Amino acid sequence: MNKASLILLSIFFSFTALAQKEDSLQIKTIYNIALEEGHAYKNLRSLCKDVGARLSGSPEAEKAVSWAKNLLESYQFDKVWLMPVKVPHWIRGDIEQAGVNGTAMSIKTLGGSVSSNGRIEANVIEIQNFEELATLGEAKVKGKIVFYNRAFDRKLISTGNAYGACVNQRWSGASKASVYGAVGVFVRSLSHLKDKHAHTGSMGYEEGIQKIPSVALSVQDADMLSELLKTQPNAMAYLNVNSQTLADKDSYNVIAEIKGSIEPDKIITFGGHLDSWDVGEGAHDDGAGVVHSIEALRILKAIAYQPRYTLRCVLFMNEENGNNGGKTYAAVAKEKGEVHIAALESDAGGFVPRGFTMDGTEEQVKQMQSWEPLLEPYNLHIFKKGWGGVDIKPLKSQNVPLIGLRPDDQRYFDHHHSDTDVFENVHQRELELGAASFASMIFLIDKYGLGTPPQLKMEKE
């Protein structure tokens, strides 16, 4: 290497060190505002207490749209608008009863389930998985309530992986059992926590198969029922739910943006979902993601950051039972020929943040990993390939790198889709740290992009 190159190199490294110092200070400022003058916690309180649970199609979901629009407008971003989204409209009935041998169990009808059309009485057959169901066949299943009781695997460190290994019972259990003549389905709640709260969630029916009602049992009741069946295999259970699916309704994604100062036609989208299940208050799922996203945009405006690209906060409607908000957003983006630099989602709760996973190319993941030293002081340590988010997933076909905020997940499924997903179960500082982490990642992507790192480009030139 000659002397000129050496000088250039040393200038380059001085520049890099200076840039890192600047970035550090910017990120520190973001965290300071989130922790000292944050709005995330009070905004979440308002969403949980003034709006509450907000399932797609419900009056509360409509209220949530107004709530979000008003809040975003109050922050005077460059633009706030509603994007129309057609959503399904399922409603839990006022009857929700199940039990065994006359003893009531704590249940939640699964979202999408049909009514039982009155009280069903039947024997129960407990199974662990679909293979077992197929082996038992019509001879053992016909006329019975099938009880899916596969529990979370405690050995899995990630509770998300434990959930992933059980969720097919909830989603597909009814149709799989109906094929063999079952009359209803009990599903063990998808949670580690052995309490009295049943956890709802989406289920679907396969075409052309008789639709039977499907409900979640609380983990305590699932254990009780399983114990009881060991000694009383012919115990009589009952099930009575009157949920129904009405006509689709009109709803909206709520969107706000700050225009890019250099390349306004390129967009960084980040968001959470505004809808929730119709139980609890949708505090962690996904009130946290909603307020993380709003707070990220608010903080970046508060520090007068001039983004290179357009920063767009999207509060998606209908993640829980259809993902029509996410699908509509991607379709509109495609139709308009919008270019997305990246899409980020916070939909894993308001717990203490651990880092980010990215559904993107190796190069993009490496670029994200290069920022670890800047974020390590905030205890962020996960920077790897992985899941982005349900709402942003439809952008994948447009080659947009998808990034998911990863809060600690040990407590997430304790509350997920249950009566306990309320504001009181969210910790203020953990929520605020999540918002700051989200804002910092958006800042870094805006500053450095996610293509070939600018540093490497300089070296090549």
Q: Taking Cα atoms as reference points, which of 144, 153, 99, 101 lies closest to residue 126? A: 144
Shortest reach from residue 433's CB to a second copy, in Å: 7
Nearer to a second copy, 189 or 242 (CB): 189
Shortest reach from residue 227's CB to a second copy, in Å: 19
Strands 107-109 and 214-217: antiparallel
Any residues with CB less than 8 A from the CB of 431 and at least 6 apart, and which? Answer: 40, 41, 44, 288, 291, 292, 350
CA angle 163-406-107, nearest 5°? Answer: 30
Shortest reach from residue 358's CB to a second copy, in Å: 18
Q: Which of 126, 257, 281, 319 is catalytic?
A: 319
Nearer to a second copy, 289 or 350 (CB): 350
Shortest reach from residue 352's CB to a second copy, in Å: 5
Nearer to a second copy, 411 or 417 (CB): 411
Nearer to a second copy, 183 or 375 (CB): 375
Nearer to a second copy, 193 or 445 (CB): 193
Residue count (the chain): 461
Nearer to a second copy, 98 or 436 (CB): 436
SS (H, E, C) the chain: CCHHHHHHHHHHHHHHHHHHHHHHHHHHHHHHHHHHCCCHHHHHHHHHHHHCCCCCCCHHHHHHHHHHHHHHHHCCCCEEEEEEEEEEEEECCCCEEEEECCEECCEEECECCCCCCCCEEEEEEEECCHHHHHHHHHHHHCCCEEEECCCCCCCCCCHHHHHHCCHHHHHHHHHHHHCCCCCEEEEECCCCCCCCCCCCCECCCCCCCCCCCEEEECHHHHHHHHHHHHHCCCCEEEEEECCEEEEEEEEEEEEEEECCCCEEEEEEEEEEECCCCCCCCCHHHHHHHHHHHHHHHHHHHHCCCCCCEEEEEEEECCCCCCCHHHHHHHHHHHHHCCEEEEEEECCCCCCCEEEEEEECCHHHHHHHHCCHHHHHHHCCCEEEECCCCCCCHHHHHHCCCEEEEEECCCCHHHHCCCCCCCHHHCCHHHHHHHHHHHHHHHHHHHHHCCCCCHHHHHHHC
Any residues with CB less than 8 A from the CB of 22 and at least 6 apart, and which? Answer: none
Neighbours of 18 (CB within 10 A): 10
Nearer to a second copy, 31 or 448 (CB): 31
Nearer to a second copy, 197 or 354 (CB): 354
Nearer to a second copy, 29 or 245 (CB): 29
Shortest reach from residue 42's CB to a second copy, in Å: 13
432 a catalytic residue = no
Query: Contact residues for a second copy (CB under 8 A)?
Result: 31-32, 35-36, 154-155, 157, 159, 192, 352, 354, 377-379, 381-382, 408, 410-411, 414, 427-430, 433
Shortest reach from residue 76's CB to a second copy, in Å: 26
Q: And the tokens for 446?
A: 């805006």
Shortest reach from residue 35's CB to a second copy, in Å: 5
Shortest reach from residue 378's CB to a second copy, in Å: 6
Distance (Å, whole) CA 216 – CA 96 = 11
Shortest reach from residue 27's CB to a second copy, in Å: 11
Active site residues per annotation: 319
